[in-house]
Amino acid sequence: MKLFIKKPLAHLMAASKEGEKTLKRTLGVGSLIALGIGAIIGAGIFVRTAAAAGQHAGPAVTISFLIAAAGCALAGLCYAEFASMIPIAGSAYTYSYATMGEFIAWIIGWDLVLEYALGAATVAIGWSQYFNTFLDTFFHTHIPFALSHSPFEVSTTTTGIYAAELGTHGIINLPAVFILLLLTLLLIKGTAESAAVNNIIVIVKVTIVLMIIGLGWSFINPAYHTPYMIPTNAGTVKTNTGIVDYADTFNHGWLGVLRGASVVFFAFIGFDAVSTAAQEAKNPQKDMPKGILISLVFCTILYILFSHVLTGLVPYKMFLVQGKEASVTYAIQAAMHGYGWLASFVTIAILGGFSSVILVMLLGQTRVFYTMSVDGLIWPIFSKLHTRFRTPYKSQWFFFVMVSLFAGFIPDSIVGDMVSIGTLFAFVLVCIGIFILRRTDPDITRPFKTPIYYIVCPLGALICLFMMASEGTDNWLRLFVWMAIGFIIYFSYSVKHSHVRHGNAEGANDPPNPKFVE
């Protein structure tokens, strides 16, 4: 069985030519950068920052961001080289197919579902909680606890927007399902229209982040930054999903900072989502590296400044008790006296910001499955394009249902951690892929080259592996179960229908009689 048969670059490039049966090229460099920022600045900065600080890293979450950014920067350089060299949809899946073979490509393609689909679910859950804050702020009402939380969450307070009888269980997170439906309809309409909406949202939420940093700096209480890392004897905190014990290995000190890095790593996944839109970029060879790297650098700077301000406004434990998913609004209301208007404005902007993240995640997921379907590794329905909009509308509907099940019935802490470990795995394979391709095909045209690849590639893979190691047994177990399901699909369906394996590449617009290599 030819598990490691590769798809030659010539055939990948043939598939990048625009036609009536391919995705439409409508995105310029500005839209690609905005796409990256739109995906990066969202749940990571407004939700996961508080979660990492509250449970694992404390004020030292700024260091967590530096560690995560280092891994992302190295992986980003590798992504940029791949995206300029192979400008078609599919992201790391496509890159792996060209360098490490079909089986590895399948693993990474299946793994990317964890990144994009569950990433959209995580952000939709955060959107739901800020939507409740919005309703409470402007209309003095809110959606009941049972209809805005998963069945695995239990009420722990009788006051505020989360008020409910103690011990009340959630039933379904309806607001999360609602926003997924709206954005699915927008994506079916078209990528250009979706990008235009995203550009507007990006401007608004970047402005909000800058305002919080600028106005909040003078309200920082140095006492909240001391000690900078969570000490072993910090005690325990009761949350909706259980008890947080700071004496646990990855809930204090440097190991807590490392665990925090794997949590806030979720905040960076947007930059590689840019690469999934390569087949819809007008000039992918030049614009894809710019879109990936500029969005990554810009957002990293904002993240570090933002997390420093946020952890200086209120004690880190409050992020798990009263702030929860809407911690940014809570911190402003609690510490920035006289700026209640900013808290209200932030709530609106965050709703828009989260929407743009979900938009990009859903876009990325359907484009990965579009490419896998074209290659014959999954069912043809995922590459079926709308006759008018030329978007994979059936795939979009499928992932609306799938993502809604996670967003509606699973807590964000579980879904978000699954996203992080899946994304880190993808980054490891991308770094390895560039290293392999530099050795096996040194003469391939590379519009962008990863500098000192013999250091960048191994170091990027190692940093990501270290962050994966801190994810905990439960997350590794979920990853293994998820991959086992993927292997069942691969060996029962993909090996029988693979165009590359059977010498039939018509689905990918390849030249006749292609020469496949092992």
- Give the SS3 label for residue 248: coil
Q: What is the mean pLDDT of the chain?
A: 82
- Residue carrying structure tokens 């507007």: 200
- Give the SS3 label for residue 23: coil
Give phi and psi for 211, each to the nearest 5.
-65, -40
Stretch 81-93: mean pLDDT: 71
- pLDDT score of 171: 92
Query: pLDDT tens-digit profile of 369-417?
Result: 888 898 899 999 888 887 777 778 888 999 999 999 999 998 877 777 7
The reply to whether 164 falls in a domain is no
pLDDT surpassing 60 at residue 359: yes
Q: What is the C-alpha to C-alpha distance for residues 64 and 121, in angstroms, rounded to an integer? A: 23
- pLDDT score of 400: 94
Residue 245: beta bridge partners?
A: 236
- pLDDT score of 517: 38
pLDDT surpassing 80 at residue 125: yes
The reply to whether 502 falls in a domain is yes
Segments forming the whole domain that contains residue 337: 9-139+183-221+249-508
Cβ count near 423 (within 10 Å): 29
The reply to whether 163 falls in a domain is no
Q: Measure the CA angle with vertex 66, ends 65 and 71; round to 5°.
A: 95
> Is pTM, for the whole model, over 0.85?
no
**3-state SS track over 184-199:** HHHHHHCHHHHHHHHH
The reply to whether 227 falls in a domain is no
Query: pLDDT tens-digit profile of 451-466?
Result: 899 999 999 999 989 8
Task: Give the residue, 14 or 200, on which the prediction is more confident.
Answer: 200
The reply to whether 517 falls in a domain is no
Stretch 125-139: mean pLDDT: 86
Count how many domains the chain has: 1
pLDDT surpassing 70 at residue 80: yes
56: its two tokens:
């694992």
Q: What is the C-alpha to C-alpha distance for residues 198 and 134, in angstroms, rounded to an integer? A: 21
Residue 238: beta bridge partners?
A: 243
The reply to whether 147 falls in a domain is no
Q: What distance, in Å, lies between the first and last C-alpha atoms of the chain? A: 11
Q: What is the C-alpha to C-alpha distance for residues 156 and 99, in angstroms, rounded to an integer? A: 51
Give the closest residue to 136 by CA, choosing from 159, 166, 169, 165: 159
The reply to whether 352 falls in a domain is yes
- pLDDT score of 88: 63
Q: Measure the CA angle with vertex 171, ends 169 and 177; round to 5°.
A: 140
Element (H, E) at 237: strand 236-239
In degrees to the nearest 10, what's the CA dihedral of 243, 244, 247, 251? Answer: 160
Domain CATH for 198? 1.20.1740.10
- Reported as a pLDDT band with limits 50, 70 and 90, residue 511 is very low
Question: Are the C-beta atoms of residues 279 and 16 closer than 8 Å to each other?
Answer: yes
pLDDT surpassing 90 at residue 96: no
The reply to whether 172 falls in a domain is no
Residue 252 corresponds to which amino acid? H
pLDDT surpassing 80 at residue 23: no
pLDDT surpassing 70 at residue 218: yes
